[in-house]
Structure 1
Amino acid sequence: MPVKPSARAKSRLEVDGVARADLARAIALDTLAAATACDLVAQVVVVTADGVLAREAATIPALRFVPEGEARGLDAAIATGIAAIDPAGRMPRAALLGDLPSLRPDDLAEALRQANSVPRGVVADAEGTGSTLVTAATGVEWTSAFGDGSLARHVSLGCAALSIPDASTLRRDVDTAVQLDAARALGLGPRTVAVLSA
């Protein structure tokens, strides 16, 4: 999971009376907590240069932090994390974006179960143009192409679009206040709720 330093994250997410950096960090922490609670996830690796995030994540079990280093952009950060844990592709791997404040472990597990049947998989965001999760099976070379319009790029790289319901919390990433409201309707994680309620 790549996570930008909170001071630079979520530049389009403006909520009156809420510090953007605090909200971005809370969203990332709720996403991390849900991922680690998923029964099909063996290890969650966080690639970040945000030291505050690492300290606040101390209460979340089984996280491994990898320094972002010279990585530039989501795909470079993800490649850094993959190289740190499994450069030879000896196990299934997945990249999950860190902006899913409503994520439920069962929704992530359903996508990972589906991903077991394809060499590469991708989950579309709620708008149907971006991606929230990309997977690669054992022995399959890792590649990803996150960013605006990434779903089409991932499909062109050989990713099968997984059949995840529209209402899945795995599809509800948050970059804007409107998207945050949509995620709120699904139920936000406790850290995000706390920041919004402060």
Structure 2
Amino acid sequence: MTAAWHVVVPVKPAAVGKSRLGGSGRAALAEAIARDTVEAACRAARVCEVVVVTADGAWADDPASRVRVVRETAPAGLGPAIRAGLAAVAGDRPRAVLLGDLPALRPADLDAALGLAEAVPLGLVPDAEGTGSTLVTARTGAPLEPAFGPGSATRHRAAGFVELEIAATSTLRRDVDTLAQLDAAAALGLGPRTAALRPGRSSRPVRAP
């Protein structure tokens, strides 16, 4: 298994992230979700670099864990953040964009998707509801122009992205915007930071290889 993929993760500043979660601890929970997602991506064997794009000063480069930060001067939105991250990947290399709200993500699930992505120019993993997208990929030689946002799975398919054969129960599909979705992620097993801050409940953190 070769660590060849450069994975871009856009991250909103915690102060404005995950507004639909509500509550006084929302900002800390938003940061925990993003950090658990990035940590899981860093532990995936097929990933050689995780490019975090953010205006949040709490994030910093961490060569030991393969994290590189592309700093925004101010939040510019999901599309501009993704474009900035992709532009920071030098040369024509396998690239992917992973949303930063997958607190149950297991490295093995990301590895499985990236392995399948090696067989198609452009790959797609829809979210658990089937309407959004959590991961898009482009192997060497394929231009990557993501179209995230509401209804993005349909737009990605229309643009030529091939849906990867990922199980409906994969942790890679379970993004979190609401407390109900956080509960669904908890049933899969949350990362340690998110588990510690999950409102009013406890959950065993994920410690997958």
TM-score by length of 1: 0.91
Query: Which of 50, 63, 67 is residue 67 of structure 2 equivalent to?
Result: 63
**1:46-195 correspondence to structure 2 within 5 Å:** 46-52=52-58, 54=59, 61-69=65-73, 72-86=76-90, 88=91, 90-195=92-197
Q: Are the counterparts in 2 of residues 121 and 160 from structure 1 also a CA contact under 8 Å?
A: yes
* Post-superposition CA distance 1:153-191 (Å, at most 9, x none): 111111001111011000000000000000000000001
Instruction: Measure the CA separation in 2 of the matches of 1:68 and 1:155.
Output: 29
Instruction: Measure the CA separation in 1 of the matches of 2:54 and 2:199.
Output: 26
Amino acid in the other structure paired with 2:32: A
Amino acid in the other structure paired with 1:3: V
Amino acid in the other structure paired with 2:178: T
Instruction: Measure the CA separation in 2 of the matches of 1:190 and 1:39.
Output: 20
In 2 relative to 1, CA 110–128 (structure 1 residues): closer, same or farther, beyond 3 Å?
A: same
Instruction: Measure the CA separation in 2 of the matches of 1:60 and 1:170.
Output: 24
Amino acid in the other structure paired with 1:30: D
Query: Which of 14, 23, 26 is residue 22 of structure 2 equivalent to?
Result: 14
Unaligned runs of 5+ in 1: none
Displacement, 1:12? 0.9
* Post-superposition CA distance 1:48-83 (Å, at most 9, x none): 00112x15x869711000012467321211110111
In 2 relative to 1, CA 61–131 (structure 1 residues): closer, same or farther, beyond 3 Å?
A: same
Displacement, 1:11? 1.1
The CA RMSD over aligned residues, in Å, is 1.9
Give yes or no for the alignment of 1:43 onto 2:49.
Answer: yes
Q: Are the counterparts in 2 of residues 71 and 80 from structure 1 also a CA contact under 8 Å?
A: no
Q: Comparing both structures, which one devotes a greater share of its residues to helix? A: 1
* Post-superposition CA distance 1:61-120 (Å, at most 9, x none): 11000012467321211110111123x4x1110000000000000000000011001110
TM-score by length of 2: 0.87
* 2:205 corresponding residue in structure 1: none
Displacement, 1:196? 2.4
Give the secondary-structure state (helix, strand or coil) at the position aligned to 1:175: coil
Q: Are the counterparts in 2 of residues 43 and 62 from structure 1 also a CA contact under 8 Å?
A: yes
Instruction: Measure the CA separation in 2 of the matches of 1:40 and 1:92.
Output: 10
Instruction: Measure the CA separation in 1 of the matches of 2:73 and 2:157.
Output: 29
Amino acid in the other structure paired with 1:29: R
Amino acid in the other structure paired with 2:126: A
Aligned length: 192
Give the secondary-structure state (helix, strand or coil) at the position aligned to 1:12: helix
* 2:29 corresponding residue in structure 1: 23
Instruction: Measure the CA separation in 2 of the matches of 1:27 and 1:43.
Output: 19
Displacement, 1:45? 0.4
